[in-house]
Amino acid sequence: MAELGVAQPLNGYAATGDRDGTVNPRNSDVLAAQLTDVGVPVERLRYAKLGHVGLITAVARPFRGRAPVLDDLAAFARRVTRGEPAC
């Protein structure tokens, strides 16, 4: 089980592509704002020229050059597991 200092406080990560036609990127903006309002640190990232599927496939080796999604997610994970806030 994770140490409390690592698992708490909960940190949020919200990433979207600005061309997402499946989930409106504004939904992630609203969620991030609501979490921030109640004290949850949130890292909010929006990637240019990516849609819903493009955001997910950007973590796959053949598509990593499209956007730094994997690098950003890995950096977030490293920070929060060191006990640093999301943003």
pLDDT per position as a tens digit, 46-60: 999 999 999 999 999
**8 A C-beta contact, residue 40 and residue 9:** yes
pTM over 0.95: no
The dihedrals phi and psi of 42, each to the nearest 5 degrees, come to -130, 130
Please report which confidence band the pLDDT of residue 27 belongs to, taking 50, 70 and 90 as the band edges.
very high
Give the residue extent of every domain in the chain. Answer: 11-81
Q: What is the mean pLDDT of residues 23-44?
A: 93
The whole-chain average pLDDT of the chain stands at: 89
Q: What is the mean pLDDT of residues 81-87?
A: 78
pLDDT at 1: 42
